Structure 1
């Protein structure tokens, strides 16, 4: 387990894009592009490069020198994009995604508005190359231990991810907005303290 630096952005973004390419909610948020994995790689690369690596924490699970899992977290009070970050994202995403940047921005804005108010760590994305082998759980345990007594928050885009979060001590607190036609997206809150 280690924290990502600027040189790790491409590999971490690829792990996340691979994990989310079949995620109905994520693909719908981007306007259902033909090459979902490529579009997601572009989004994750830009967000990791301009926001999560410099201002948050991106945890990497590494096995035999290869990144097998990544989790991007915002620190408490640091979830909102700064003007410079927003501009850098626009420069990266508008040429790559075209009109698809609009539904993605709308979705991000709507989900950000329903974040809990108390200070918390925010799990933006977690993905693994080998699902079902415990890598996601290890990433969560590591982050929850680091958070100490500070709460953590996330949304679950799949029933499997919701179950994993609940096994780690997160509790459902509501539902976040979703793109039209997508199933509900549970909001989950971990009160802080050691992982369950």
Structure 2
């Protein structure tokens, strides 16, 4: 199989959501929030949450990468990665619209859902960086280089900029460390499971060229 990575298209939506829901169905962070939804099951709530995040944040302000087998236009997605950029984000009006989505989904528990989401994001560094929110691979494409292709594509795009992510397992943390990420510390654990690990790939600082800048004057 030859894996290629391209940008997300509107026609990828259903496949991307299924891949993400399958991958994060048992994720403790999501399972702390989905029971707050009114009258919906866990998978449906998770799908609606991810759909809202893609629509409100990752399409207009982030980057969505889709991995496929080959380079044909109609190739079925095998994996998806959602990235936040260092220098773009929703404005006040968009944040209000996103809040309306949460109210529609969680009803009277919307404030609790928003608070828990902010608690999760509060551990993210305040320095400018790319943030890998999720990277998921279809169960049928596991161990075929799809995840590696998605990650390498995102890291190449980030270039010399810093990158942050949370590793959900010790195995993932070891993998990211081999790729140049530095463990920042364990995130607080709620309920069962292991601690997530905050991982940081520092930015590359380029030295100024000779003969340029204040030090070369005079």
Q: Report TM bin, short chain.
A: 0.7 to 0.9
Tell me how far apart the structure 1 counterparts of residues 163 and 14 of structure 2 sit (CA, whole Å): 26
**Alignment correspondent of 1:84:** 93
TM-score normalised by the chain length of structure 1: 0.84
Kindly provide the CA deviation profile for residues 103-155 of structure 1, in whole angstroms up to 9, marking residues without a partner as x.
43222212322221221101111111033322111111010011110010011
Q: Does 1:14 align with 2:22?
A: no
Tell me how far apart the structure 1 counterparts of residues 43 and 174 of structure 2 sit (CA, whole Å): 24
- Any residues of structure 2 matched to 1:138-177 within 5 Å, and which? 138-177=149-188
- Any residues of structure 2 matched to 1:28-39 within 5 Å, and which? 28-31=32-35, 35-39=41-45
CA positional deviation for 1:49: 0.8
Change (3 A) 1:107 1:178: farther
Change (3 A) 1:180 1:107: farther
Tell which structure's C-alpha radius of gyration is larger.
Answer: 2
CA positional deviation for 1:61: 0.4
SS at 2:102 equivalent: helix
Higher mean C-alpha displacement, 129-138 vs 171-180: 171-180
Gaps of 5+ in 1: none
CA positional deviation for 1:181: 4.8
**Alignment correspondent of 2:78:** 68
Picking from 28, 49, 55, the partner of 2:55 is: 49
- Report the aligned-residue RMSD: 2.4
Q: Residues 35 and 42 of structure 2 are in contact (CA less than 8 Å); yes or no, is this contact kept in structure 1?
A: no
Change (3 A) 1:153 1:162: same
